[in-house]
Amino acid sequence: MSRHNKRRSKLRKRLTVFGGGTVGVAAVVVTVNVASAAQVPPTPRAASKADHAVFVQGNELTGNTIHVFRRGGDGKLTAAGNYATGGKGGDQTDAPTDSLASQGSLVYDHRSGRLLAVNAGSGSLTSFAVHGQRLTDRQTLSTGGDFPSSITVSGNLAYVMNAGGAGSVQGFRITSEGLKPLSGSYRALGLKNEKVPLFSSSPGQVAFTPDGRDLVVTTKSANTIEVFPVGRDGRPADRPVVNESVGMVPFAVTFDRSGRMLVAEAAKSTVSTYEVRHDGELRTVQKSLPNGQNVLCWLERAGDFFYGGSTGNSTVSGYRQDAHGRLALTNEAGIAAAPSAMSQGVIDLAVAADKFVYVQNATSGTVDGFRVERTGALTKITTVTGLPAFAASGMEGIAAV
């Protein structure tokens, strides 16, 4: 058996033994030193065709970098430079293909025109101003915790999730001069990880609901979806509303046009749909739709369709949704993009203009670009090579504009 097949076999075994649990929360005060920044919100700037880009986080252990690609009108990618984040990448313990084991480790904020990246090995968050394919005004700040692995943005707020140790979320204001830590926003998650967590027990993602009223965290081994109501001051409630996941190992989160939340569940490669109520409780709209694939961990919306990445057998599945929020696969096989020799170790995904989907292949060190067809099928249009392939660590995190 090959080294990567052994890793995948180990992952499948681990995912069958995850148990439920309740996560406690302790309020912790964190102080981060940073120059003061103006509170004036940034002015949104519409991107021209020349600005179109795809950003890939290399997550290199010796020095994290952002690999930038120009995105043509046809969706094809050409290399446009690399930028150091000023921090180090990380690799979770026993990670099979995905070093950060999360979704949302690299985020482009359309409102401010800033790109946000985690430095898991340095406990820091980096912000860049984006000018087409050029990154400027680098700013690197402490996240107040260990192994940051996911970021979410709503309005002028950004929150980062720390996966190591007890786990935590920490808020920042997005200002005209960059990021400024939001005092009193730190919330512990009550996990029991080492500073570098085991991939199967780290939290999967932090995400704002579309209305910005709630902050959601998925916890894999605890099998919970934690909802922190967010006050008008941008700070989360002291304790989350703890919801048991209807499917095992909740990982990635995305939302439909009506604000319903879809959660990818890794254990049996399923997706469940919820309504997030005002009190933080979840109402199940649809339980655990299987896609027939192996270890579904990532999920993104592209217009009227959703696409999920299954790293266990390197496939991308497509989903469509009816008016009542119920999901169905776009085809009986559950595969929108089949694996190829250049597409091994499917992990994170990014969507551009709702018509292009870009997929990271960690084992191959490649990114595939697909055009979304009217039926929801994906047509491959581009592949870029030479990115950091998974070994001691590997790339993770992708964003598109």
Instruction: Provide the residue type at 287 as one letter.
Output: K
Question: 93 with 199: CB under 8 angstroms?
Answer: yes
Sheet holding 398-400, edge to edge: 77-84, 65-71, 53-57, 398-400
Please state the pTM of the whole predicted model. Answer: 0.88
Burial (CB count <10 Å: 0-12, 13-18, 19+), residue 307: buried
- The residue among 361 and 41 whose pLDDT is bigger is 361
Res. 118: pLDDT tops 90: yes
Question: 117 with 106: CB under 8 angstroms?
Answer: yes
pLDDT bin (cut points 50, 70, 90) of residue 48 is: low
Which pLDDT belongs to residue 338?
87
Dist CA 40 CA 252 (whole Å): 32
Res. 326: pLDDT tops 80: yes
For 86-235, where are the E strands, in sequence order?
Answer: 106-109, 114-119, 124-131, 134-142, 148-154, 157-162, 168-175, 178-181, 187-188, 203-208, 214-219, 224-229
Res. 90: pLDDT tops 90: yes
Res. 75: pLDDT tops 50: yes
CA angle in degrees (0–180, nearest 5) for 222-223-229: 90
Res. 22: pLDDT tops 50: no
Res. 345: pLDDT tops 90: yes
Res. 88: pLDDT tops 60: yes
Res. 63: pLDDT tops 80: yes
Which pLDDT belongs to residue 18?
39
Dist CA 363 CA 313 (whole Å): 12
Q: Cβ contacts of residue 233 below 8 Å, gap of 6+?
A: none
Q: What is the mean pLDDT of residues 123-136?
A: 98
Q: What is the mean pLDDT of residues 303-309?
A: 97
Res. 9: pLDDT tops 80: no
pLDDT bin (cut points 50, 70, 90) of residue 19 is: very low
Res. 43: pLDDT tops 50: no
Ranges of each domain in the chain:
25-43+50-400
**Nearest alpha-carbon partner for 7 in 92, 126, 113:** 92
- 259 sits in the region (left: phi over 0; alpha: psi -120 to 50; else beta) called left
Average pLDDT, the chain: 90
CATH code assigned to 25-43+50-400: 2.130.10.10
Res. 51: pLDDT tops 50: yes
Res. 130: pLDDT tops 80: yes
- Per-residue pLDDT tens over the stretch 137-177: 999 999 999 999 999 999 999 999 999 999 999 999 999 98
Question: 27 with 372: CB under 8 angstroms?
Answer: no
Burial (CB count <10 Å: 0-12, 13-18, 19+), residue 46: exposed
Q: Kindly tell me the number of DSSP H helices and DSSP E strands found in the chain.
A: 1, 29
Res. 4: pLDDT tops 70: no
Res. 394: pLDDT tops 70: yes
The answer to whether the Cα torsion of 259, 298, 204, 245 is positive or negative is positive
φ, ψ for residue 363 (rounded to 5)? -70, -40
Ranges 96-105, 127-136, 287-296, 333-342: which has the least confidence: 333-342
Which pLDDT belongs to residue 178?
93
- Per-residue pLDDT tens over the stretch 225-278: 999 999 999 999 999 999 999 999 999 999 999 999 999 999 999 999 999 999
Which pLDDT belongs to residue 49?
57
- The residue among 11 and 335 whose pLDDT is bigger is 335
